[in-house]
Amino acid sequence: MATPAELKAEILRLTREYSTLVHQANRPGVDEAVAFEPGRTTVPYAGRVFDADEVEAAVGSTLDFWLTLGPEGAAFEKELAAFLGVKHSLLVNSGSSANLVALSALTTHKLPTHKRVRPGDEVITVAAGFPTTVAPIIQCGAVPVFIDNDPVTGNARVEQLESALVAGKTKAVMMAHTLGNPFDLGAVLEFCRRHDLWLVEDNCDALGCTYSMPVARAKALGFTENSPGIPVDGTHLTRYTGTWGDLSTQSFYPPHHLTMGEGGAVNIAHRPPLKTYAESFRDWGRDCWCASGTDNTCGKRFEWQIGELPKGYDHKYIYSHLGYNLKPLDPQAAIGRQQLRKLPAFIEARKRNWEVLRAGLADLGDFFDFSLPTHATGWERAGFAWAATGCRTDCSWFGFMLRVKAAAPFTQTQFARHLESKKIGSRALFGGNLLRQPAFVQLQKDRPQAFRVVGEMTGADELMQRALFLGTYPGLTPAMLDYEIATIRSFTNG
């Protein structure tokens, strides 16, 4: 009779063999494991990229049958925090939940009154993007204040920040790094420091991006070290996005930089107490911080006196917040750990694929406006030209965005339909100008004071009307990229 260990080893050996045979199309694009047939094989805008390692990890964890978040989750949280260089990472079941937990953590009564986000307080955000960057602000009873997007970068027009501020009422800034292009962290951080505001970075599309600023400017903002593994050059301080603000969020949905199927994370960059608050909102609102299956890590489980509860009430069932249950499963974390090991290669593939598309479409400027990284002033085949600020960005691109020119002989919709007819996936910039979405139109009718708008949303409207993006994900092969470029060139030639 085989022992349990021997049976498990054989199951995992067969699992790897099965995955290698069945999942060839999900391998990194450099492998070109499956023949590409132009016009017949779909070129997705994004997708899962994995091999037998992830499948084995998922099956192995499931065989152990610790299904709820457990040892694999604890290991993944430590490994993600170590990769980024943050105090803590906290796993949740989606990027949207991560945004909800991050903003909720800032509402806790355990914060000083002047720092707490309370109903009616304001949070500055940006108009064009994904709705669940904004929804938590409203769900927590606060008021989103919308500023416009710069259509070239997709990010906030930071010159509007001061106009959006209401002293004593504005408590935070919460916005995303659009399509893996960091927003102007230098300007946003200086604004937040000047007015004692929280900064929440929605880093769901930007895992692995870096932002650099001159050392003196970074030190003035309280930063003294690069992120782990990033060389020191003596003139710039460089950190990953998601490590500059107070809190940041990640999504591990399949299109993103790494995947757990569903899943996400809240990163606590500098202030450890925020981890306790975020964890409470993630875990039903409970006061206890013991991991599932663990009791009495505080050493006084039956000795607390909190609220109006009787002295000694079981700390595992004391609730300090109105929370949720937003944990993922441990087998998902097992998959995520394997993905995290491949993340550096995934990041490089995204950068490489963006450059291939940019170079291949370089002479189509009569038809398209091309995106630029924040702080870049131009693109050449040798690289980017940079503004004199000394700040730079290195983008781990989520997508390759084009804006159809107003004078082009076709519209964004016509272009998207043509790509679809040729089996090339594309996407609009998520919700476009969210203020045009039915949910926000209705919200304004029902509750006119539910949000506030600063200025005209001309950039957000331009992104909604003219922009779409193609994939840069690591599963794209050279043949797929060549086909995309040839298809777009043929379309513009009429």
Degrees, nearest 5: CA angle 385-46-440? 85
**CB atoms near residue 428 (< 10 Å):** 16
Residue type, 353: N
3-state secondary structure of 327: coil
Nearest Cα neighbor of 258 from 330, 338, 178 is: 338
CB 267 within 8 A of CB 89: yes
Q: Any idea which residues carry the catalytic annotation?
A: 256
Closest of 454, 456, 463, 455 to residue 431, by C-alpha: 463
φ/ψ (deg, to 5) at 236: -120, 150
| Cα-Cα end-to-end distance for the chain | 70
Contact 243, 265 (CB under 8 A): no
230 CB-side CA count, 13 A? 22
Given a contact cutoff of 8 angstroms between Cβ atoms, the answer to whether 92 and 251 are in contact is no
Those residues whose C-beta lies under 8 Å from the C-beta of residue 402, and which sit 6 or more positions away, are: 361, 368, 369, 370, 371, 467, 468, 469, 470
Number of separate helices (H) and strands (E) present in the chain? 14, 16
- For residue 351, give the DSSP letter: H
Pull the structure tokens for residue 259.
Answer: 């995947």
Task: For residue 205, give Cα distances in angstroms to 129, 242, 344, 365.
Answer: 11, 11, 15, 26
